[in-house]
Amino acid sequence: MEPRNVVVTGMGMLTAVGLGRDSSWEALKRGASGIAPITILDTSDFKTTFAGELKGFAPEVAMDPKDARKADRFAQIAVVAAAEAMAQAGLDAAPGDPYRAGVIIGSGIGGMITFEEQHAKFIGRGSRGVSPLFIPMMISDMAAGLVSIRYGFRGANYCTVSACASGGHAIGAAFDQIRLGHADVMITGGAEAAICNMALSGFGNMKALSTRNDDPAGASRPFDADRDGFVLGEGGAVLVLEAEDHARARGATILGGILGYGMTGDAFHMTQPDNDGAGAMGSMRQALRTSGLRPDQIGYINAHGTSTHFNDKIESKAISAVFGDHASRLKVSSTKSMIGHLLGGAGAVEAVVTLLALRDGILPPTINYRTPDPECDLDYCPNEAVLAEVDHALSNSFGFGGHNVTLCFGARR
């Protein structure tokens, strides 16, 4: 069987700048920041007191209130994003054979909020205080499970867990399910909700977080010489992928195409990227090779761009190595400057943003870019969106443990 073309027919997204795809995209194009002081917990004992919260998030917009109470916040986010994506795709159930429709949704941490809440009950009341729903609410695969149950998708159903590359890996795995003929339709993406005491403590104590408490909106500054760490965010995104022939047969609107992807491992360090950028280079080169594209055919890269010292300079170095002279003509940006780092949800949100950028010919900015860094010498779309009709783009995601994934997208006009 010849590999099948894979297209996108639905997208849903929740971020700190919007509780939906369109509201998020409008804010991102404007360069709006969703970073603000944390309101969902007491931060008086923390080094960092701000994050990218989903302000006003109410899972009941897409979930029965009883069901919502049985799900951790990260899974609620996934279900709401999936509902938006399925509505855009014009689907409310598996079309055709349900065993040829699957769900792969990544999460780097899963139900950390539930774990923290239930551990407090255990400490206070002993084992009898722990909810019988603790395990199903906590486990990272439950987002995929709940979405599968909701729509009756009986094909491949699992979760990818690769830290900040989880969402990107999920999309790559779903792409393969269709390309190789195992499925006709896949719901895929990533979701995370880790703005909680333990996450803030852990990331803060390892000095990974920005501490610009006097300027939350200006704290995430990828590729800027004065960057001082990433900003924690929550949210997620879900995409509906289909075989192109299947989508056309049912008259679906095609929003873009996934052309290929690459994934590598640094085999270097628990948290720090490979110093020479070999893992990131290999991931991007694989994405180009599987897509059948030359480096000079890529017009935009949605970078991992975390606003940390090592990631930003090494990612820039890797892009320059892969694209050579063309690197100076590339547009690169990091939407984490506006919504923070969504960990396992980042790759999925950035995939949706990349597809919207291709669709509209608008490349979102890297905000808070004030002081150029000689070790980051690319065009980062500083502070304002760029109007540019681009046919092909990459989206990078790199995770603790040395996990790298690059997705390649193509415009459909």
Give the catalytic positions in this structure.
164, 304, 341
Contact 207, 26 (CB under 8 A): no
**Which strands form 403-410's sheet, in the order they lie side by side?**
157-158, 101-106, 185-192, 235-243, 6-14, 256-265, 403-410, 392-399, 300-302, 331-333
The token duo for 3 is 């590999």
Alpha-carbon gap, residue 156 to 182, rounded angstroms: 9
The CA-based angle 43-47-52, given to 5 degrees, is: 60
By DSSP bridging, strand 300-302 and strand 392-399 are parallel
Residues 6+ apart with CB under 8 A from 107: 74, 78, 140, 143, 159, 161, 166, 190, 191, 192, 344, 345
| DSSP code string of 173-223 | HHHHHHHTTS-SEEEEEEEE---SHHHHHHHHHTT-B---TT-GGGT--TT
